[in-house]
Amino acid sequence: MAELIFGLVIALLAVALVLRTVRIVPQARASNVERLGRYLRTLEPGLNIVIPFIDRPRALIDLREQVISFEPRSVITEDNLVVDIDTVLYVQVTDPRAAAYEIRDYIQAIEQLTVTTLRNVIGSLDLEKVLTSREHINSQLRGVLDEASGKWGIRVNRVELKAIDPPPSIKESMEKQMRADREKRAAILTAEGLRQSRILTAEGDRQAAILRAEGQAKAIDTVFEAIHRNDPDPKLLAYQYLQMLPELAKGPGNTFWVIPSEVTSALQNVTKAFNGITTPEVANGKNPEITPD
């Protein structure tokens, strides 16, 4: 029985020894190893062998890119306005040894360095430039942070300003200005549309007047040519005079109008023509003189 117990103890010790000897590091992770309290080496991803009770592996360090987001910070601009800036950083550990031994907490250090750099950069710009120069601020922040965090084994890949919130009074003024700009642009577009509409309407009226005038001119030419081609006699001309009389009477305010002597002569010729009376003057195409009864 004693030998069985002793064998079980030896087996358990052997298993424990193997577990402390073999270290498996996941992909994109690293682990620093200390031998008797002093840094020895960094374990790479995969299977690693260490000396039990002499080598001490430290906690795993994530080598993947990390997103660090900070709470909004109040910063004063050059024109003495307080703005709240929300920042996000993309950082990556490039040297596990430096990240573990050069700085106690690199996340906290980067946060404090970001706030200090923001105050320096924003303090040299007025509010308008702060709102319109995000790329410039991002590049300056990244340059300062990357240079300072390099000795900590950290690389700052990107810096982004998520939000820049000016004071409420400035926000209200900006909103009023934006509304005024939108209303101004709408008024300009409406006026431009009316102007174009009027231009097109005037152009259409002009074209219509031209077409009407051309049509009337062609009609007059056609009638004139037809009359001269057919050599009309006085009876036909008299009939045309009769057709024109109602048109003369249609005009507004025509309470008094004068009939030319030619119309009177034409009426007499028509009357005689319908009664079968032909005077020598009519036969020769002349209008006889009208004598009063």
pLDDT tens digits, 226-254: 666 666 666 565 666 566 666 555 555 55
Mean pLDDT, the chain, whole residue set:
79
Domain 66-166 in CATH: superfamily?
Answer: Band 7 domain (3.30.479.30)
Strands 66-69 and 38-43: what pairing? unpaired
Residues 65-120 pLDDT 10s: 999 988 888 888 888 888 888 899 999 999 999 999 999 898 999 989 998 989 88
pTM over 0.75, yes/no: no
Please say if the pLDDT value at position 148 is more than 80.
Answer: yes
One-letter-per-residue 3-state SS of the chain: CHHHHHHHHHHHHHHHHHHHHEEEECCCEEEEEEECCEEEEEECCEEEECCCCCEEEEEEEECCCEEEECCCEEEECCCCCEEEEEEEEEEEECCHHHHHHCCCCHHHHHHHHHHHHHHHHHCCCCHHHHHHCHHHHHHHHHHHHHHHHHHHCEEEEEEEEEEEECCHHHHHHHHHHHHHHHHHHHHHHHHHHHHHHHHHHHHHHHHHHHHHHHHHHHHHHHHHHHHHHHCCCHHHHHHHHHHHHHHHHCCCCCCCCCCCHHHHHHHHHHHHHHCCCCCHHHHCCCCCCCCCC
Residues of the chain with CATH 3.30.479.30: 66-166
